[in-house]
Every structure is written in structure tokens, then in C-alpha cells.
Structure 1
Amino acid sequence: MLLCLRIENFALIDQLELEFGTGLNVLTGETGAGKSIILDAIDAALGGKVSSRVIRTGTSRAMVEATFKSNGTLASWLSEQEIDSIDENSVVISREISATTSNVRSRSRVNGVLVNRQMMVGLRDRLVEITAQGQTVQVGQASQVRDWLDLHGGDALMQQRQAIAVVYTAYQQAHLALEKRRTSERERLQQLDLLTYQVQELGAVNLNDPNELEQLLQERERLNHVVDLQQMSYKVYQALYQNDSEAPAAADLLGDSEATLIDMVEYDTQLQPLLDLVRDAQATLMEVARQINAYGEDLEADPQRLEEVEERIRELKQICRKYGPTLQEAIAYYQKIQGELAELNDSEQSIESLEQQEQATLAKLTQACHKLTQLRRTAANSLESRLIAELKPLAMEKVQFKVDIVPTTPTATGADKITFMFSPNPGEPLQPLSEIASGGEMSRFLLALKACVSQADAAGTMVFDEIDVGVSGRVAQAIAEKLHQLSQRSQVLCVTHQPLVAAMADRHFRVDKQIINQGKGNKTNNGSSEQRTVVRVTALDNLTTRREELAQLAGGKSATDAIAFAESLLLQAANHRQSEQR
């Protein structure tokens, strides 16, 4: 419930503070007096769109602050958003609007904490619902019509709708995953062909040893120099062990050295270690001579093996150029693409799995949507009978109304397209409400609709902006009674020109424009004080002021008949309230 509204420099309002009460709060005044500005200020405070025109001329900023009575729903929202409560009884929402030469800036706060627009939208639905005769456009919007029907359907329907939103998200994810895989299928096939060729090519060369190329290069050198190696090995053998020339071999020299050291040891045993070293050297030399001789004898030319080695070297170097640059890197690449190829070969099965997953989630979504459709049809039957009953007292005794539900593509809100079908006159076919309803008929329909859904609506304050335009007499009285009926469940704010509606108010405010002098600080060219137009609101708290306002609405404050009519309206309204209390 809206407790207090404070406005500064908003449109024609310089400063204004209003305190609203429970029940029916009515704003009256001449056309153009500024009644709708107050509703615009409420809308702005709750995150509505604003432009630079809402800032009062001559000022740089506007501010609107709305204080609402707190409840369990608001307390839970504040806790979810981690916003502290000012007190247990109220929530303060404010918005500051400023303008530059290029844009408009605004900052919204809840209990002094800055909040973004998305948070304000979520909070707005918990606080206020604004209904105006201009909602013909909304009646033609399938989403709004669907929301009205679902709201009337109650908790079970809304819970099913929430369940559909979850299933629809899962379906969207499965569908997107499948489409992504299908989109990349051509790339997958191209990559599959490439990797298949590369795996076959690398597999054909039998890559196992990363040192194979180095070993082959060494073997090629040996095979190319067999004769040289034979000659050099024989030369080493001669130098070490058996020299064909007259020069002694190394073995002979060591033998002479050994004999001399033996003689020396007989005189000095300290030389024994040296003798042992010479003997060890001689044994080593003999082993080297034996092995080099065997090596030389084993060497033989092998042109066929040399050709094989050359071919293998060329093959490995080609592989290194394509997949290396080293053989070790080529082998690592081969192992890597074998895994990638296995994944690509398994992707076909992945597509089948994704298709099955998509079909499974679509089946769940379809089933959930079917259940929601059944709930909506039940809610539609209830709304049809309830709405017709609400419209009959509003001088629409012969009205026909039907909720048309036709299947459509499943979405997060179900698989139904919902249209309100309407026929105000007997013998006329049902047609879409938004296309055929007159302004007065639309006003009454919206009021009756709010009466049907208000008990399920989370908003604590309902605002009606001139919803009684285009009606009079008995219909206006019926609208007044319907507004009062709604005000017993929710706080109602209503802008009206109808004295019958205004008479039913629990709190009555008169809105008018006044011309004031700005003071000595601002002079016009002729020296007089600058005059400005401002909006003023007066709370009509006593019977005399209310009677005078109702008389003015009815036909002129000075007319005796109008005063009498106003008194009769107030008496009639009092009697109606008393009869409802019984």
C-alpha cells in the first residue's frame, strides 16, 4: 500500500507531499489540472520511462519518493536483494532525475540503496498495478492477455508455468547443442578426411624410435666408408700390436717397459704400482688390438643395405618436414591426431545422442505444455463466467465473452495463443476485444477484469487513470461501486471526472493549477515578479469541501441543484458502504 508520495520539481509540481490511506483514494480536478502528473510521478518512482520534459523548467533535477507499507512479500524481496529494512512497517523508494544537453540520467534507490532498472521492474510488480483506458493496446498483446488469464488461474497454474520455464530452458540448451553440432558437421568431415590421411601416412612409416633418423645417418656414413674404415682399422691394429714395418708396435714397447720395470722393482719395491699399471695398460692394449682387428675383418660393402638406409632417411626427412621439424615431434603429433580422429569418429554417435536428448526434452516440454493448456482451459471457463457476472452490473447485461485458446509453438510460457473474444450486443459474432470494444466498453471490461484477478494479484495498490471516461449515469454508479469493492481488498487510487465515483472515496484529493510569483530574485522586463504555474493538491477532509468539489464536478459550485445533488451522492455512497459492511 502506498503511504506517502513526495515530489520535487517534477513537470509542473515544485514541491508536493501526499499521504494516502486504505480503501478508495480519489483525485479530481479540471481537465489539465495535473492529476495525471501525480500518476506519472508514481510510475517514474517505480522505474517508468522518463524524459527531460519531466524536470521542471528552470531546474536541473527532479526527485520522486514513494513510501509503501511493508509486508511479507516485500520483506522477502529486500532479503533476496540484500537490502536492509529501514523499519518493519515501510519501504522507501526514490528516484532522482537529472538532464544534460545530450541525455537524461536517473538513479533509483530502495531504502537508500542504489538499484538497477531490472530490480525496479521486479519490485514494481509487487507494489502497484496501473490500469488506464488506453490499455487497449495491452488487450491486443498476446503476452498480456496470457498473463491475465494465468493470474486468474491461481497458484497451480502459475506453478505449472514456472515448471515449463525450466523444461523449456533445458530444451533450448539441447536444441542449441544439436544445432551447433550440425552446423560444424561439414568442418568435422573435412577435418576427419585430413586426419585420416595423416594417420594413414604416419602409420605407414612405422614410427617407433625417436632416435631412428640419427642412427640411420650414422649407419649411412659407415656404409659409405667401408674401405676407409677397413684400412684405418688395420693401421690401428698394426700400430698397437703387430707392425709390418721395422718400427716397433705399441705392444712391443710396453713389453720392453715391463721388463725394465721388473728389473727396477728388484732394487726398489716402491715401483711395483707402476709395474702393475704398465701390465694393465698392456692388457688393455691387447684387447683394443683384438677388437679393432675383428671390426676390420667384419666390415664388408653392402650396397643393398646402403640403398635401404638412404630410402628410409629420405622417408623420415619428408615426415619431419611435414609434421616435425624433428622426428620426436612428428611421433608426438601422430599420437595426438590418433586421439582426435577417434573423437571425430565418435561424433556421429554424439549427434544421435544429442538428437535423442532434444527429442526427450521436447517430449517433456510438450507434455508440460499440454497440462498447462488444460489448466488454462479450466481457468478460461472460470474467467468467462466470472467476467460476464462482473460486467452485467456495468450495463452490459447481454455481453458475450470467450477466451480463445489455440495451439502454437512451445515457449517458456506454454504452447497457447490466447485472445479475448468479445461481443457487447446480442446477435453480433464474437470478435477480438481489442478490435471492436469502444472506449467506454473497454473501461468497463478492464475494471471487471481487475475485479476477477485482484485477489491473485501480488500488487498492494491498484491505480485507475480515468477509467470511467465515456460513461455516465447508471454505468458510472456501477463503476463507482466496483471500485469501492476492489478497494476492500487492495488500496485503490483513481483519477476521475465522475462525481458518482468521487463520492464513493474514502479519501478525496482536489488537484488544480495555481499561478504564483517567484519572488524578488526573478524579475520580468517590466519589473514585476516572474509568474509560474504550479500544481497544488488539497485533501478534502470535511463534508463541506467534498460537497463543493462534487457540485463543481456535477455542474458548477454556485448551482443550488448541484449542491443538493452532491449531498445526495455522499449520502448514497455512505449507505452503500454501510450495506456492504452488513
Structure 2
Amino acid sequence: MLSVLRIENFALIDQLELEFGTGLNVLTGETGAGKSIILDAIDAVLGGKVSSRVIRSGTTRAMVEATFSSNLGLAAWLSEQEIDLIEDNFIIISREIAATSSNIRSRSRVNGVLVNRALMSGLRERLVEITAQGQTVQVGQSAQVREWLDMYGGDSEIQQRQLVALGFSEYQKAHIALEKRRTSERDRLQQLDLLTYQVQELKTANLTEADELEKLLQERERLNHVVDLQQMSYKVYQALYQNDAETPAAADLLGDSETTLSDMVEYDTELQPLLDMVRDAQATLAEVGRQINTYGENLEADPQRLEEVEERIQELKQICRKYGSTLTEAIAYYQRIQEELAELNNSDQSIESLEQQENICWEKLTEACQKLTLLRRTTAAVLEAELIRELKPLAMEKVQFQVEIVPTSPTATGADKITFLFSPNPGEPLQPLTQIASGGEMSRFLLALKTCFSQADENATLVFDEIDVGVSGRVAQSIAEKLHQLGQSSQVLCVTHQPLVAAMADRHFRVDKQVITLEPGDKTNNGHPEQRTVVRVTSLDNLNKRREELAQLAGGKSAQEAIAFAESLLTQADHHRRGEWK
């Protein structure tokens, strides 16, 4: 319940504080007096859209603060949002709107905690329901009508709708996975062909040693220079070990040196290490000679092997050009594409399995939608009966009303298109409500609809903005009684021009515009005190003041006849209350 509303520098309101009570709270005043500004402020503090025009001219900041009383369900929801209630279980919501050079900024707080728009939207749904005659567009929207019907259906319907939303999400995932696989299948097959060819080519290449190419290049050089190597090895052999020419070989020279050193050691034993070194060198030289001789003797031309080496070198170079700058890189690439090929060949899910999964999810979704449709049809029948019952006291005794549920493709909200069908006159066919209902009929319909919904959710404050426009007489009286009835279970705020409605109020406020002169020191205009228009609200607790306001609404002036009529309205309203309370 909204208990206190504080407004500062909002449109034509400079400073305002209103205390609302339980039951029916009515705002009256002349057209343009500012009644709708107060409702705009309520909408703004609960996260509604605002523009720079809501900031009072001459100021740069507007503020709206609303205090609501809480309940157990609301307290639990706030606790989930990590927001604590303040003393006496109140919720204080504030919104500050500031103008900058290029745009406006606003900040919302709940019990002092800065909150975002999503949280404010969730809180708004739990606190206030605003209804106006201009809601014709909403009544014509299947999505909005569906929301109303599901809300009226209660927990079982909401829970089934959640199951539908979950089923739709699962189906969407399965469908997207299937489509993605179908779309990528051509690329997968092309990649599969490419990798299969590459793996086969690299497998045929038999890459086992990373240094194979270097070894082959060395072997090719040896095979290409067999004759030269034979000649040079024989030449080395002669120079080291046995020379056929007159020039002595190195081995002969070392032998002579050994003989001389042996003679010297007989005279000086300190030369023995040098003799040993020469003897070792002589042995090493002899071994080198024998090996180089064997190497030369074993060398022979092998054209066939040379051809094989050349072919292998070209094959390996071709592999390196295609798969890596070196054989090491080519071998690593071969290992990698083997893994990729195995993954492509052994994918977790084939198209067939994905199709099967999509079908399973579709069947679950359609089954959940069918259950939701059945619940909605049951709820629709109950709503039809109750709404007709609520419309009859509003001078619509012969009205026909039907909730039309037409199958559609499944979505997250079900597989139903829902339309309110209406016929105010006997013998006339049912047609969409927005196409046939007059303004007055729409007002009564919305009021009856909110009456039905208020029984499903008795916690929200109901706000009606001039819902009684275009009606008078007996219909206006029925609307007044219905609003008062709503006030017994929910707090009701109503902007009205109807004296019959205003007379039924538990609390009555008069809204008017006043021109004030600013105090000295405030802004001036050419040296003269500036005058400003402001909205003022008076609580009509005094019976005489209330009688005068009702007279103004009824007759436009406080004539004796109008006063007498106002008095009769108050007496009638009092009798009505006492009759309901018996």
C-alpha cells in the first residue's frame, strides 16, 4: 500500500507531500489542474520513462519518493535482492532526475540501495497496477491479454508456463545445434576430403626421422664424388703411411723421429715422454692410414642408389614445401591432422542424432504447450463467468464475453493466440473488444477486469486514471460502487471528474493550480517579484469542504442546488458503506 508520496520540482509541482490511506483514495479537480502529474510522479518513481520536461523549469533536479508498506511475500522477494526492510516494514523508493547539458540522468534507490531498471520493473509489478481508459491498445494485444489470463490462472498456470519456457529453450538449443551442423556439413566434408588426402600423402612419405633430408643430402654428395673421394683417399694414404714416390710418408718420418729420440733417451731420460708421444702418434697415424685405405677400397659408384637418393630428396622437399619448412614441422603437422581427421570421422553427434534430439525436444515442448492450453481454457471459462458477473452491476446485463484461444506455433509463452471477444447487445456477434467497445464500455470492462484480477493479487495498489470518462448516471454510480468494493481488498487511487465516484471515497483530495509570488531574494523579472504556477493538493477532511468540492463537480458552482445534491451524494455513499459492512 502506498502511504506517503513526496514530490519535489516535478513538472508544475514545487513541493508536495501526500498521505494516502486504505480503501478508495480520490483525486478531483478541474481539467488541467495537475491530477495526472501526480500519477506521472508515481509512474516515474517506479521506473517509468521520463524526459527533461518533468524537471520543473528553472531547476536542474527533480525528486520523487514513495513509501509503501510491505508484506511477507514482498519482504521475501526483497531479501532475495539483498535489500532489507526498514523500521516498521516500510519500503522507501526514491528517484532523482537531473538535467545535464545534453540529456538527463536518473538514479533509483530502494531503502537507500541503488538499484537498476530490471529490479525496479520487478518491484513495480508487486506494488502498483495502473489502469486508464487509454489501455485500449493493451487490451488488443494478444501478448498482454495472455499475461492477464495467466496471472488470473494463478500458480499452477504460471508454473506450467515456466515449464513451457524451459521446453522452448531446450528445443531452441537443439534446433540451433542441428542447423549449425547442417550448415557446416559441407565444410566438414570438404575438410574431411582434404585431411584424408594429406594424411595419406604423409603416410606414404613414411616420415620417421627429422634429419633424414640432411643425411640424404650428404649421401648424394658422396655418391656424386666417388672417383674424387677414391683418389683423394689414396693420396692421403700415401702421404700418411706408404708413399710410392721418392718422398717419404709421414709414417716413415715418424719412424725416423722415433729412432732418433730413442738414442737421445739413452743420454737424457727426461725425453722419454716425448718419445712416448711420437710412438702414440705413429700408432694413430698407422690406424688412420689403414682406415683411409679401407674407405677408398670400399668406395664404388652406385647409379641406382644415387637415383633413389635424388628421388627421395625431391619427395621430402615437396613435403616441406606443402606441410612445413622443415621435416620436423611436417612431422608435427602430420600428427596434428591425424587427430583432426579422427575428430571429424568420430564426431560426438551425427546429423541423425541431432535430428532425433530436436524431435524429442519438440515433442516435449508441444506436450507442455498442450497442458498449458488446457489450463488456459479452464481459466478462461472461469474468467468469462466472473467478468460477466462483474459487468452486470455496471449496466451491462446482456453483455457477452469470451476468451478466444486460437492455436499458434509454440513459443516460450505457449502455443496460443488469445483475444477478448465482446458483444454488448443481445443478438450481435462476438467481436474483438477493441473493435466494438465504446469508450464508456471499455471503461467498465477495464474496471471489471481489474476487479477480477484484484482477487488474484490483493497486494498491489490499484491506480485508475479517469476510467469513468464518458459515463454518467446509473453507470457512474455502479462504477463508484465497484471502485469502493475494490477498496475493501486493495488500496485504490482514482482520478475522477464524477461526483458520484468522489462521494464514495474514503479519502478525498482536491488538486488545483495556483499562481504564487516568489519570496524576496528569489528570481525576479525586471525588478518585479516573479510569479510562478504551482500545483497544490488539499486533503478534504472537512465535511464542508468536501461538500463544496462535490458541488463544484456536479454543478460547476457552489449554488444551493449543487450543495444539496452533494449532500445527497454523501448521504447515499454513507448508506452504501453501512450496507456493505453489515
Do structure 1's residue 350 and structure 2's residue 355 form an aligned pair?
A: no
| Residues 133-165 of structure 1, C-alpha deviations (whole Å, 9 max, x = no match) | 110000011111001000110101101112222
* Residue 396 of structure 1: aligned partner: 396
Q: 1:100: how far off?
A: 4.1
SS of equivalent to 1:558 = coil
Consecutive unaligned residues in structure 1, runs of 5 or more = none
Do structure 1's residue 24 and structure 2's residue 24 form an aligned pair?
A: yes
* Residue 35 of structure 2: aligned partner: 35
Give matches, 1:128-147, under 5 Å. Answer: 128-147=128-147
Whether contact under 8 Å (1:22, 1:491) holds in the other structure is: yes
Give the AA of the match of 1:234.
Y
Q: How many residues align?
A: 581
Give the AA of the match of 2:300.
E
- Cα distance in 1 for partners of 2:499, 2:250 equals 139
* Residue 123 of structure 1: aligned partner: 123
| Residues 456-491 of structure 1, C-alpha deviations (whole Å, 9 max, x = no match) | 337521101111112222222221222122122211
Q: 1:45: how far off?
A: 1.0
* Residue 433 of structure 2: aligned partner: 433
Q: 1:267: how far off?
A: 6.5
| Residues 510-542 of structure 1, C-alpha deviations (whole Å, 9 max, x = no match) | 1111122224444555x6533322111111113
Q: 1:430: how far off?
A: 0.8
Q: 1:219: how far off?
A: 0.5
When structure 1 is superposed on structure 2, of 161-170 and 489-498 the one drifting more is 161-170
When structure 1 is superposed on structure 2, of 134-143 and 163-172 the one drifting more is 163-172
- Cα distance in 2 for partners of 1:205, 1:248 equals 53
* Residue 487 of structure 2: aligned partner: 487
Superposition TM-score, scaled by structure 2 size: 0.94
- Cα distance in 2 for partners of 1:99, 1:109 equals 18
Do structure 1's residue 360 and structure 2's residue 344 form an aligned pair?
A: no
Give the AA of the match of 1:473.
G
- Cα distance in 2 for partners of 1:367, 1:249 equals 105
SS of equivalent to 2:455 = coil
When structure 1 is superposed on structure 2, of 449-458 and 538-547 the one drifting more is 449-458
* Residue 46 of structure 2: aligned partner: 46
* Residue 60 of structure 2: aligned partner: 60
| Distance change in 2, residues 1:285/1:455 (3 Å) | farther
* Residue 191 of structure 2: aligned partner: 191
Q: 1:40: how far off?
A: 0.7
When structure 1 is superposed on structure 2, of 197-206 and 493-502 the one drifting more is 197-206
| Residues 212-256 of structure 1, C-alpha deviations (whole Å, 9 max, x = no match) | 110110000000110111112222222333222233333344444
| Distance change in 2, residues 1:88/1:363 (3 Å) | farther
When structure 1 is superposed on structure 2, of 466-475 and 395-404 the one drifting more is 466-475
* Residue 232 of structure 1: aligned partner: 232
- Cα distance in 2 for partners of 1:539, 1:565 equals 21
Whether contact under 8 Å (1:126, 1:459) holds in the other structure is: yes
SS of equivalent to 1:145 = helix
- Cα distance in 2 for partners of 1:577, 1:97 equals 42
- Cα distance in 2 for partners of 1:235, 1:551 equals 140
- Cα distance in 2 for partners of 1:426, 1:97 equals 52
- Cα distance in 2 for partners of 1:52, 1:164 equals 42
* Residue 152 of structure 2: aligned partner: 152
Q: 1:34: how far off?
A: 1.2
Superposition TM-score, scaled by structure 1 size: 0.94
Give the AA of the match of 1:249.
A
* Residue 288 of structure 1: aligned partner: 288
- Cα distance in 2 for partners of 1:264, 1:370 equals 120
SS of equivalent to 1:471 = coil
* Residue 477 of structure 1: aligned partner: 477
Whether contact under 8 Å (2:458, 2:489) holds in the other structure is: no
Give the AA of the match of 2:546.
R
- Cα distance in 2 for partners of 1:258, 1:156 equals 115
* Residue 331 of structure 1: aligned partner: 331
- Cα distance in 1 for partners of 2:367, 2:283 equals 95
Whether contact under 8 Å (2:458, 2:490) holds in the other structure is: no
Whether contact under 8 Å (1:171, 1:365) holds in the other structure is: yes
- Cα distance in 2 for partners of 1:155, 1:472 equals 38
When structure 1 is superposed on structure 2, of 395-404 and 61-70 the one drifting more is 61-70
| Distance change in 2, residues 1:258/1:410 (3 Å) | same
- Cα distance in 2 for partners of 1:323, 1:524 equals 86
SS of equivalent to 1:454 = helix
Whether contact under 8 Å (1:139, 1:145) holds in the other structure is: yes
* Residue 250 of structure 1: aligned partner: 250
| Residues 163-195 of structure 1, C-alpha deviations (whole Å, 9 max, x = no match) | 222222222222223223333333334433433
Give the AA of the match of 2:128.
V
When structure 1 is superposed on structure 2, of 43-52 and 451-460 the one drifting more is 451-460
- Cα distance in 2 for partners of 1:572, 1:35 equals 26
| Distance change in 2, residues 1:458/1:188 (3 Å) | farther
| Distance change in 2, residues 1:67/1:348 (3 Å) | closer
Whether contact under 8 Å (1:127, 1:458) holds in the other structure is: no
Give matches, 1:412-427, under 5 Å. Answer: 412-427=412-427
When structure 1 is superposed on structure 2, of 327-336 and 345-354 the one drifting more is 345-354
Q: 1:115: how far off?
A: 2.3
When structure 1 is superposed on structure 2, of 391-400 and 95-104 the one drifting more is 95-104
- Cα distance in 2 for partners of 1:18, 1:174 equals 55
| Residues 341-362 of structure 1, C-alpha deviations (whole Å, 9 max, x = no match) | 3333345953333333322222
Give the AA of the match of 1:506.
D
When structure 1 is superposed on structure 2, of 537-546 and 183-192 the one drifting more is 183-192
- Cα distance in 1 for partners of 2:275, 2:77 equals 102
* Residue 530 of structure 2: aligned partner: 530
* Residue 407 of structure 1: aligned partner: 407
| Distance change in 2, residues 1:211/1:508 (3 Å) | same
Give the AA of the match of 2:506.
D
SS of equivalent to 1:455 = helix
* Residue 83 of structure 1: aligned partner: 83
- Cα distance in 2 for partners of 1:56, 1:290 equals 114
| Distance change in 2, residues 1:112/1:286 (3 Å) | same
SS of equivalent to 1:404 = strand
Whether contact under 8 Å (1:129, 1:459) holds in the other structure is: no
Give the AA of the match of 2:195.
L
SS of equivalent to 1:416 = strand
| Distance change in 2, residues 1:458/1:354 (3 Å) | farther
- Cα distance in 1 for partners of 2:286, 2:455 equals 114
Aligned CA-pair RMSD: 2.3
Whether contact under 8 Å (2:130, 2:464) holds in the other structure is: yes
Give matches, 1:247-326, under 5 Å. Answer: 247-259=247-259, 277-326=277-326
Q: 1:290: how far off?
A: 2.4
Do structure 1's residue 445 and structure 2's residue 470 form an aligned pair?
A: no
| Residues 435-475 of structure 1, C-alpha deviations (whole Å, 9 max, x = no match) | 11111111111111111111333752110111111222222
- Cα distance in 2 for partners of 1:442, 1:530 equals 45
SS of equivalent to 1:184 = helix
* Residue 552 of structure 2: aligned partner: 552
When structure 1 is superposed on structure 2, of 476-485 and 378-387 the one drifting more is 476-485
Whether contact under 8 Å (1:241, 1:250) holds in the other structure is: yes
| Residues 9-54 of structure 1, C-alpha deviations (whole Å, 9 max, x = no match) | 2122111110111111111112221111110110111111122222
- Cα distance in 2 for partners of 1:246, 1:204 equals 58
When structure 1 is superposed on structure 2, of 227-236 and 514-523 the one drifting more is 514-523
| Distance change in 2, residues 1:459/1:262 (3 Å) | farther
Whether contact under 8 Å (1:549, 1:557) holds in the other structure is: no
Give the AA of the match of 1:92.
I
When structure 1 is superposed on structure 2, of 248-257 and 426-435 the one drifting more is 248-257
- Cα distance in 2 for partners of 1:80, 1:282 equals 98
- Cα distance in 2 for partners of 1:298, 1:84 equals 98
Whether contact under 8 Å (1:199, 1:337) holds in the other structure is: yes
Whether contact under 8 Å (1:126, 1:458) holds in the other structure is: no
Q: 1:269: how far off?
A: 6.4
Whether contact under 8 Å (2:127, 2:460) holds in the other structure is: yes
- Cα distance in 1 for partners of 2:185, 2:440 equals 60
When structure 1 is superposed on structure 2, of 494-503 and 99-108 the one drifting more is 99-108
Give the AA of the match of 1:323.
Y
Between the aligned residues of both structures, percent identity stands at 80
